Structure 1
Amino acid sequence: MFPSRPWFLIESTIKSHFTNRSDVTILLEMKRFDLEFRVLLAMAVANGIGESSIVPLIPAIRDDLGLSPVQTGLIWTITTLAMLVAAVPVGYAANRFGSRWPLIVCAALMPLALVAQAAAIGLPGVLAARLLFGFSFGILWVIGPARAAAGNRGAGGTGPLIAAAGIGWLIGPVLSGAVADATSWRTASAVVALLTLPIVPFVYRFAAPRLVGEHVDRLRPRAAFGLVRRNRTIAGAVLVSALLGVVGGASNVLVPLALDAEGLSAGQIGLAFGVTSAVWIASSIAVGRLRESVVNLRGIGIVVAVLASIWLLPALRPTAAAFLLFLVVSTSCRATVNALNYAVGVRSVLGDTAPVVVGVLNLAWAVMALISPLLAGLAEGSSSVRIAFAVTGLVAAAVALVLLGPRLHFRTARAVSSVGRAGDS
């Protein structure tokens, strides 16, 4: 059936008039675009469950395998390494060949990686499993934001996508923590694998094939990096992505270990992260309803300033209550910045080049998220944890000052067509 809402018919008629294409063909494409968005939302939920499920398991994995602080940080770092490797190539492949098969591969890797995690022998096995999951994560978060923000949806698309991932984070830690308390971290990993398995046939059935004759921009990854130099908006978005890598990587290592030191069990840690995910969902949905006039780097800078201040709280008062308050506020800030930053980055270029540009943003995130868990893993004892929180807060404050500085009255950069031509050369 065609979409039943009357404005679909009106819009298709208008597009048909100005493009000399059949309004029936346009209606089919609009239906395909709407279905594609729902597929992306379902994948974001499943990926969020798989990604977050390991958070309450980290102390148990550390104790079971006898890991050092640096080895514990590697569990997060290896996932990021996969994003680092995949970021730009996946964006280019999606631009060049369409998103259907990359999304199918992404869906299949999720349960496969979690089964491998459950059966892992020693640290190398856990790292190999997390590397596999990282490839799935990387594929989704290159293609997902670019397609969600397309069709003039902007933050109205990236906001719900980030919120869908938040639903996964609401389920994953609570489920895996409860199962781990009752059984073991290996059983918890297997249960989460079963939960994400249905996404594979769903994506295979509904992920839309590339349309015959569909235009694909030929922007090369090298030209995408050139955009960072030429386009101040993209340069600012890359800086913000790098900061998100710092705060995300550090938070996912420091907070579970700090709460474990305060005497919380795996189930309680999972519950804490699960509850804060409700904040993530609410914040992401709120971003989707913001006026376009506030979807810019200056608006992001204001949120980053709040994020910087909350990172200083555990440094000044390292108690369980302070950590929980930190989780709530920082989660809201990260969700808001995530959704806004993707929307700003995608809006600053032509729509067809968006997957490659999102790949560059994710590359910046991955580089910093690769380093920060290792550095955070070195923090042993309350004094070192306090220093780690303080340093991260100061880094966020520096980024906020750059974004809010007088030079950052950013304009959308020049048309990207010239860059695209450079990429083809």
Structure 2
Amino acid sequence: MSTTEQAFQFRSIALPALLPSLLFAIGEGAIIPVIPAIASNLGASLAVAGFIAGMTMIGELVGDIPSGWVVSRIGERRSMIYAAILSILAIVLCLLAPNNLLFGTGIFLLGLAAAVFALARHAFMTTFVPAAFRARALSTLGGTFRAGWFVGPFLGAGVIALTGVSQSVFWIQGVCGVAIIILLFIIPDPTEKLAKPDAGETFVREESVGLFATLVQFRSLLVRVGTGVTLVGALRASRTVVLPLWAVSLGLSESSTALIIGIGGALDFALFYSSGQIMDRFGRLWSVVPSMVGMGICFVILSFTHNLDGAVGWFIALTVFLGLSNGVGSGIIMTLGADLAPKTDPAPFLGAFRFTGDLGTAAAPVLVAGVVAVASLPLAAAIMGVLGFAGAGILIRYIPRYLPHVGRVPRLVKNS
């Protein structure tokens, strides 16, 4: 397949691949900034509110266990439809929840839906996007989620301002879920028409293995690269927990919190394609290392600002710089997973690889909540900063070993 044909194929899958992801992320983005505040309104302490905020990530981790098997068996399209239905049921439970137990359960179910939805898009892009466009395609997918997480908080802030009720943001997720289902029934399934870029290779759904068997099969790779990816997931997840908790501790309103986090999300989103260009031209390390080091520095600085004069100003500035740092690494986990996945049936491996990243995603909120409970929120931020530096070091050590041609070679990647 020529480069021109590959580029045309990439463009032809953009709408059916990215629009459902954008809608799902808008719904998530509206909800995430106000979860701790809603939990606090239901009587939760700061530590418990942080734990409930992390139930989304814990749900994603649990969802990773069957997601590769589900996507391999029923396909990407049907998986996303079922995930959208589950997300609607989850937000109904959150709206009706009279206490934090049921509220946390609804947030957990939303995480389950997010895991299946994200894996379905990841598997599709890995299978149908040519290797020469891989990092840009997957960073675009990551950027699509970031666009939703940018738009969602602003929509949420507007809805809260209009209704005066924090829980009204869940209606945004409900509307997005219904729109996804309608869209997936209307848009033709791209998997029925597109040829895979790797001729002669078959996508063998019937022979997929389970998550735990895949973890055992690729244990050496997952222990090494996966540990670094786990810390990437931890840093990213800690942003979505520490920042809303920080706003609650500073006494900011829910709408102000959503606006500030939305500004950070805007800058995060703005860098998604630049991240893909960096990875394709200069190597994966040139994206992930600056991202991890930048977030680490921001968390360490944040930990010293809580009791300073102008603490709100520091919070806004560091939220912006955290968004910039995370944006530089847009799509890195999906790109590394696609680089390393078997071409014949990538979904089970991608589920296992996402599981390693989501281990950190799920563990970070628990760690933050535990540290807040026994010590303080600033100490939790400092610990996450140190973990960012550790993650950068691990990835510098192991990415070139497993991806010698795409780890840090300063040229356009022709083969992966």
Structure 1 length normalisation: TM-score? Answer: 0.81
Q: 1:237 to 1:327 in 2, by over 3 A?
A: farther
Aligned partner of 2:69 in structure 1 is 92
Alignment of 1:247 onto 2:239: no
Aligned partner of 2:365 in structure 1 is 373
Question: 1:355: Cα distance to partner?
Answer: 2.1
Query: What SS class does the counterpart of residue 329 from structure 2 fall into?
Result: helix
Matches within 5 A, 1:409-420: 409-412=400-403
Query: What SS class does the counterpart of residue 401 from structure 2 fall into?
Result: coil
Aligned partner of 2:215 in structure 1 is 225
Question: 1:399: Cα distance to partner?
Answer: 1.7
Alignment of 1:328 onto 2:316: no
Aligned partner of 2:130 in structure 1 is 151
Aligned partner of 1:137 in structure 2 is 114
Report if the CA contact (8 A) 1:37-1:148 is conserved.
no
Alignment of 1:176 onto 2:164: no
Report if the CA contact (8 A) 1:48-1:172 is conserved.
yes
Deviates more, 1:53-62 or 1:118-127: 53-62
Query: What SS class does the counterpart of residue 44 from structure 2 fall into?
Result: coil
State the distance in 2 between where 1:299 and 1:410 align. 17
Query: What SS class does the counterpart of residue 53 from structure 1 fall into?
Result: helix
- The one-letter code of the counterpart of 1:194 is V
Q: 1:101 to 1:408 in 2, by over 3 A?
A: closer
State the distance in 2 between where 1:171 and 1:127 align. 24
Aligned partner of 2:377 in structure 1 is 385
Q: 1:148 to 1:364 in 2, by over 3 A?
A: same
Per-residue CA deviations over 1:351-399 (Å, capped at 9, x if unaligned) read 3332222212221233233232233234559x72221111111111112
Q: 1:62 to 1:49 in 2, by over 3 A?
A: same
Q: Unaligned regions of 5+ residues in structure 2, if any?
A: 194-200, 405-416
Report if the CA contact (8 A) 1:91-1:359 is conserved.
yes
Residue 268 of structure 1 is aligned with which of 256, 260, 266? 256
Per-residue CA deviations over 1:80-128 (Å, capped at 9, x if unaligned) read 2322222142113323442221111122233332233222221232123
Per-residue CA deviations over 1:329-361 (Å, capped at 9, x if unaligned) read 222332333412321221123333322222122
State the distance in 2 between where 1:206 and 1:398 align. 44
Alignment of 1:348 onto 2:340: yes
Question: 1:65: Cα distance to partner?
Answer: 0.8
Residue 175 of structure 2 is aligned with which of 163, 187, 194? 194
Q: 1:336 to 1:67 in 2, by over 3 A?
A: same
Aligned partner of 1:160 in structure 2 is 140
Alignment of 1:403 onto 2:395: yes
Question: 1:402: Cα distance to partner?
Answer: 2.2
Aligned partner of 1:416 in structure 2 is none
State the distance in 2 between where 1:384 and 1:83 align. 26
Matches within 5 A, 1:105-116: 105-116=82-93
State the distance in 2 between where 1:185 and 1:74 align. 19
Per-residue CA deviations over 1:218-255 (Å, capped at 9, x if unaligned) read 34234532454344xx5554223311332233222221
Q: 1:214 to 1:100 in 2, by over 3 A?
A: farther
Query: What SS class does the counterpart of residue 66 from structure 1 fall into?
Result: coil
State the distance in 2 between where 1:394 and 1:327 align. 18
Deviates more, 1:272-281 or 1:238-247: 238-247
- The one-letter code of the counterpart of 1:392 is M
Aligned partner of 1:78 in structure 2 is 55
State the distance in 2 between where 1:353 and 1:294 align. 28
Aligned partner of 1:18 in structure 2 is none
State the distance in 1 between where 2:84 and 2:287 align. 34
State the distance in 1 between where 2:241 and 2:37 align. 13
Q: Tell me the matched-pair count.
A: 387
Q: 1:208 to 1:180 in 2, by over 3 A?
A: same
Query: What SS class does the counterpart of residue 410 from structure 1 fall into?
Result: helix
Residue 64 of structure 1 is aligned with which of 35, 41, 65? 41
- The one-letter code of the counterpart of 2:115 is G
Structure 2 length normalisation: TM-score? Answer: 0.82
Question: 1:195: Cα distance to partner?
Answer: 4.3
Question: 1:309: Cα distance to partner?
Answer: 1.6
Question: 1:275: Cα distance to partner?
Answer: 1.4
Matches within 5 A, 1:282-297: 282-290=270-278, 292-297=280-285
Report if the CA contact (8 A) 1:245-1:367 is conserved.
yes
Deviates more, 1:274-283 or 1:51-60: 51-60
Indicate the RMSD between aligned Cα atoms, in angstroms: 3.1
